[in-house]
Amino acid sequence: MTIMEAIENRHSVRAYKDIPIDMDVREQLDRFTEECNAESGLHITIQYDDPDGFDSRLASYGNFRNVKNYIVLAGVPGRDKNDFRFRCGYYGEKIVLFAQQLGLNTCWTALTFNKKKVKEIVPPGETLCMVIALGYGETNGSVRKSKSAEDVVISKGTMPDWFRDGVEAALKAPTAVNQQKFAFGMKDGDPAIRIKGMGMHTRVDLGIAAYHFEAASGKKVTVL
Ligand SMILES: Cc1cc2nc3c(=O)[nH]c(=O)nc-3n(C[C@H](O)[C@H](O)[C@H](O)COP(=O)(O)O)c2cc1C
């Protein structure tokens, strides 16, 4: 599966089959995650065969079923907390799309997991950002409502093809409660992204959308 197919086919999946993730798939995911950590300075880990992370009332209210694997987004935030959240979004989604290419399904979760239990596995001095459910989904999820490119582009005039491809891919990115509170434009000849409007977890969303834009357009995006 190409990265573009992964972007197209990825949807949030909350119910999983009771099948362990293949060992060779784990190895590839772990290696990829290590590369993301080296690049980002984050400490992202993957928990396998551990139902505790989603053993909570919130998770069952949220229709999560049989989540036994999850990605833990954590690290030392440093002074710039917004940059930490952005990086968690960007690299978390990079791993999500790689997992999709390996035949897995995912769901980002800021709220509907067992925070107390997940915090126990985060080393002292590190901050837990959020977690991502992972596994072989009961289904592949479904297409949801989305804003249009015109809703999220603030530059005037016609868009070059690569820019439109980037924006269309960003509109397929997951955002908290599907809020899509981001906007794209051009700044000094380069594509740029910023938050548009108020909402929860908009910095993480921004990182996720930026990764989709870059993967589809092949251009680095400036964060405003
Ligand atoms: C930062 C972030 C936090 C999220 N938190 C939750 C959550 O706590 N519980 C949940 O069920 N879904 C959560 N989601 C999933 C969104 O509801 C979902 O991505 C959105 O509705 C778009 O649907 P899609 O992922 O199928 O494209 C979260 C998504 C993101 C990006």
Architecture of domain 3-135: 3-Layer(aba) Sandwich (3.40)
Ligand 1 site-directed mutation target among 86, 105, 108, 179, most atoms within 8 Å of CB: 108
pLDDT for the residue numbered 41: 98
pLDDT for the residue numbered 71: 98
pLDDT for the residue numbered 134: 98
Tell me which residue has its CA closest to atom 2 in ligand 1: 176
The model's pLDDT over 193-214, given as tens digits with 9 standing for 90+, comes to 999 999 999 999 999 999 999 9
Tell me which residue has its CA closest to atom 13 in ligand 1: 109
DSSP result, 21-71: PPHHHHHHHHHHHHHHHHHH----EEE-S-GGGG-SHHHHHTT-BS--EEE
Identical fold, 3-135 and 149-223: yes
Q: Residue 122 pLDDT > 90, yes or no?
A: yes
Tell me which residue has its CA closest to atom 6 in ligand 1: 109
List of E strands, the chain = 45-47, 69-75, 105-109, 127-135, 182-187, 190-195, 222-223
Say what percent of the chain tops pLDDT 90: 93
Domain-by-domain residue ranges, the chain?
3-135, 149-223
The separation between the first and the last C-alpha atoms of the chain, rounded to the nearest angstrom, is 32
13 lines ligand 1 (CB under 6 A): no
User: Regarding the domain delimited by 149-223, which CATH topology (the fold level of the hierarchy) does it fall under?
Assistant: NADH Oxidase (3.40.109)
pLDDT for the residue numbered 189: 87
The model's pLDDT over 87-96, given as tens digits with 9 standing for 90+, comes to 999 999 999 9
| Predicted TM-score (pTM) of this structure | 0.98
Q: Residue 141 pLDDT > 90, yes or no?
A: yes
Tell me which DSSP letter residue 178 carries. G
CA of 173 to the centre of ligand 1 (A): 10
Residues 103 and 133: their CA atoms lie apart, in Å, by 14
CA of 132 to the centre of ligand 1 (A): 9
pLDDT for the residue numbered 160: 92
199 lines ligand 1 (CB under 6 A): no
Q: What's the burial of 45, exposed, middle or buried (CB within 10 Å: 0-12/13-18/19+)?
A: middle
96 lines ligand 1 (CB under 6 A): no
pLDDT for the residue numbered 163: 96
* Rounded average pLDDT over 8-37: 98
pLDDT for the residue numbered 104: 98
The model's pLDDT over 142-181, given as tens digits with 9 standing for 90+, comes to 999 999 999 999 987 888 999 999 999 999 999 999 999 9
CA of 28 to the centre of ligand 1 (A): 25
Ligand 1 atom at minimum distance from 111 CA:
8
* Rounded average pLDDT over 106-134: 97
Tell me which residue has its CA closest to atom 1 in ligand 1: 176
The model's pLDDT over 43-75, given as tens digits with 9 standing for 90+, comes to 999 999 999 999 988 877 789 999 999 999 999
* Rounded average pLDDT over 110-133: 97
